[in-house]
Structures are given as structure tokens and as C-alpha cells.
Amino acid sequence: MTKHSSSPSGNRAVFSTRFAAVATTVGSAVGLGNIWRFPYEAGVHGGGAFLICYLAFVMLIGVPVLCAEFCMGRATRSNIVGAYSRLKAGKPGLFAGLLGVVSSLLILSFYSVVAGWTVEYSLASLTGALDFSAADPMGHDRFAVLTGGWRSTLWTLLFLGCNFAIMLGGVTKGIERMSNVLMPVLFLLLILFCVNSFTLSGWRQGVAFIFSPDFSKVNPSMLLGAMGQAFFSLSLGLGGMMTYASYFSKTTRLARTAVTTAVLDSAVAILAGVIIFPAVFTFNLSPEAGPTLVFEVLPYVFSQLPAGRMWATLFFILLFLASLTSTVSMSEIAIAYFSEERRMSRRKATLTCALIAGAGALLCALSFGPAAGFKVCGMTMFNLFDYVASNISLPLGGFICSVFVGWKLRSPFLNRYLQPVTPLTRAYTGYLGFCMRWVCPTAIFLIFLNSIGIL
């Protein structure tokens, strides 16, 4: 965002090139959600069937809601609360806006803990403290040894510190440059590790686990999980993409950017699955390990690569940076709100968010240490934040957004901002409108009812 343009909301930054707009949007979408969260959710929910449901949700709900957010962002050039209020969405809009602001801080809290693990792992790989031999005496306990205690809390806070330092600097030039380079490199590295997976003895089982669906595994909690994952991975439901679209220049094509983002984002998730599951089966680990899965499995993956330590260091540093390009978009939701609606200076808004997220992150980090026994509804603070934000707030925010754009603003709004010109793009805009009006609300509603046991 190097240029400034005057707009109804004053001087707002604009991404400098079309490529930068796409790279930054993909940078927001691709992060721990793909590489850490997708494999563990897929592992818990049975693999192939989860993948199919997740991809279906990306197409039927993800892309339409992404376009709805993009259009609202372009139309209003404003933060989420401001966007709903300018479009006269009334109380539901205010609710969706505030839900977005609060939930983005919740997500930031637990996300930073995982990002903190990437710091620990980068350092441990670099110094050799992380032993990659399969016969490592730390064995399955590597994760606990590395992340237990106060050190990982420190890394969590350090990560948040980096994040808010970038935000204080006005973001965006740095993020834009970082995304331009980082996303392609990360992609190449993942492809390399993926090829390596096929040399492992358990590759058949791993690939079968993630690609051959067992539909007896489809149940309400799996559907809710797959839907939550689709929202989480595409940074949807809380106005993150809305806020980013408010920084797009007029030449950025919204409908196309939405598809590019969804395709690349899903590709990264699938690559992560192909990297993780063959190793899980080769080394007799459990696919159902939950949030720690990827961090337990990856050292085994690197143990099979020549110069594993170097690859590991590179990978964890990249993952750290990919997390930053995502948390920046999360933080921007709340910071844009505080600075534009509450009239705080950008600096004060940033510090306020840093304090709130810092407190939340402490709670989440301690879930893996001294506060592991403190549970609400059977979940540690870390799991609770993740569950509530990903499976409830995001779909609820997406529901309100798609109903509002689909039913209140309707086709003229979509046509104006998606600008269909050919018969094909007109059909595509029609498909998006149909999904916003019918498919998204119905699917989200049914899955909610289903998962609280009413249906």
C-alpha cells in the first residue's frame, strides 16, 4: 500500500500493483490455517471425507462469501463496522461488525501461540537442539520438551510484538513486499517436501487416508469442523477480506481474485496433507493427535531429507513469516475499527489491540503448561478460543454477510462491483448471487442446528 488516494473515508492506502493485491490476499489466507490446522482437523475427522466436505464448502460458501466481503469493502472503503453502517445494515450489521472485531482478537490470541511454536522450532532446528533422527530419545515427546514451560509463552509474546510492530509501522509496504516473495517460495518448498513424502514406506496409506473418502465418517461435528475450516482458511466471516478489499485499487478484479485465492489456499492445504499423513503412517503416529499433530510429525519428515536440519530451519522460518502475513490481516480488522470508528489514533488503536491480544495469548499459551487442567466445557482455553471463534463466530459472520449482500443489496450491487462483462462472467456472478441468497444461509443454518443437536 504505497499510494494514497482520497476516498469518502479520507486518505486510505492502496495496494501498489494488482499482483501485490493478490499476493497480500493470498498471504492473509495462507498461514497456519492451512499447514497446521487443516491436517489436524482432517486427522481428527477421518481424512478423505473431511477433505471433500471442506472443498465443497470452499466452493459453495467460501468463494461467494469472499466475493460478498470484497464487494462490501470496495463499495464502502471502510472497516467492518463502518462498512455495515454505511450500507445501512442496522442492528444485525452492527452485531456482525462487533462480532468480527471481538473474534479477530480471539483468533489472534491462540494463533500467536502456534506461531510461537514456529519460533521455538526454527531456533531448535538452527541450533541442532531438535534431533531429527527417528530414534531420538525425546521420541514422541519432542513437542512437550520444546514447548512446555515458560519459553513458548515468551515466543508467543515475541511473535505478537513483531506483529504489532509491523502494524505500528503502518503495515503495508513491508507486508506487501514480504508476500510477493514469500508465497511463491513457500509453495515451492511444500512441493519439494511433498515429493519426499512419496519415498516414505507409509505413503500409500497416507495418501489413501487423505484422498479416499470414507463417508461413514460424515457426522454433524465433522461438517461443522469442515465448514469452520473453510471459513478460517479463507480468512472469512470477520471482515478481514472486506478490510483488505477496501485497500484494493480500482483495477483489481474481485471475482477473479476470489477464485485465485481459493484455489491457491486449498492447494496449500492439500499439499500439507500430503506431507503430513504419509509420515504419520510411516512412523506409527496417530492422525488424531489434535493441535500438536503437525509439530510432532514434521521432525520425522525432515529426518528423511538430506540436509534435514537446513530444510527444517528454512521451513519454520517461512511458516513464521506466513503466520505474520495472516495475523497482520487479523489485526487490521480491529485496528481499522478502533481508529476509524472510535476515532483513536492509529498508534493508540494498535496498542489497545496489542494489550487485549496479549492477555488472550497468555491464557492460551498457559493451556499447554500450568493451566492445562483449567477447562471450560471440557476444553482448555486454547481449544475453547479456537472452537468458539472458528466454528461459531466465523460461520455466523458469514451468514449475516451473505444474507445482507444476497437479499438486501441484491444483484445490482454485485453487478456493479463484480462488473461482469462476458456471458461467462455474468453466469458466474449469477451463481455467486444464488449461493449468497440460498446456499450459504441454508447450509450454515442447517449445520448449526445439526451440531447443537436440534436436527
Residues near ligand TRP (CB under 6 A): 28-29, 31-34, 104, 107, 232-233, 235, 238, 240, 326, 329-330
**Nearer of residues 34 and 147 to ligand TRP, judged by Cβ:** 34
Query: At closest approach, how far in Å is the CB of 262 from ligand TRP?
Result: 12
CA proximity to 75, closest of 237, 334, 254, 240: 254
Query: At closest approach, how far in Å is the CB of 237 from ligand TRP?
Result: 6
Query: At closest approach, how far in Å is the CB of 376 from ligand TRP?
Result: 22
* Cα(8)–Cα(13) distance, integer angstroms: 13
Q: Which three cell numbers stand for residue 317?
A: 522460518
**Nearer of residues 132 and 316 to ligand TRP, judged by Cβ:** 316
Query: At closest approach, how far in Å is the CB of 330 from ligand TRP?
Result: 4
**Nearer of residues 118 and 303 to ligand TRP, judged by Cβ:** 118
**Nearer of residues 106 and 432 to ligand TRP, judged by Cβ:** 106
**Nearer of residues 234 and 280 to ligand TRP, judged by Cβ:** 234
CA proximity to 285, closest of 299, 270, 302, 305: 299
**Nearer of residues 26 and 381 to ligand TRP, judged by Cβ:** 26
Query: At closest approach, how far in Å is the CB of 34 from ligand TRP?
Result: 5
* Cα(41)–Cα(336) distance, integer angstroms: 31
Tell me the residue number closest to ligand TRP, measured at CB. Answer: 33
Query: At closest approach, how far in Å is the CB of 266 from ligand TRP?
Result: 11
CA proximity to 243, closest of 360, 115, 101, 56: 101
Distance, CA of 129 to chain centre:
29
**Nearer of residues 203 and 231 to ligand TRP, judged by Cβ:** 231
**Nearer of residues 38 and 302 to ligand TRP, judged by Cβ:** 38
**Nearer of residues 34 and 367 to ligand TRP, judged by Cβ:** 34
- The DSSP bridge partners found for residue 6 are 11
**Nearer of residues 28 and 391 to ligand TRP, judged by Cβ:** 28
Query: At closest approach, how far in Å is the CB of 172 from ligand TRP?
Result: 15
Query: At closest approach, how far in Å is the CB of 28 from ligand TRP?
Result: 5
CA proximity to 399, closest of 443, 340, 336: 443
13 phi/psi in degrees, rounded to 5: -70, 160
Query: At closest approach, how far in Å is the CB of 327 from ligand TRP?
Result: 7
Query: At closest approach, how far in Å is the CB of 212 from ligand TRP?
Result: 25
**Rounded (5°) CA angle 419-423-428:** 65
**Nearer of residues 265 and 296 to ligand TRP, judged by Cβ:** 265
Ramachandran region, residue 130 (left: φ > 0; alpha: ψ -120 to 50; beta: rest): beta
Contacts of 308 (CB under 8 A, 6+ apart): 132, 302
Query: At closest approach, how far in Å is the CB of 239 from ligand TRP?
Result: 8
- The DSSP bridge partners found for residue 13 are 4
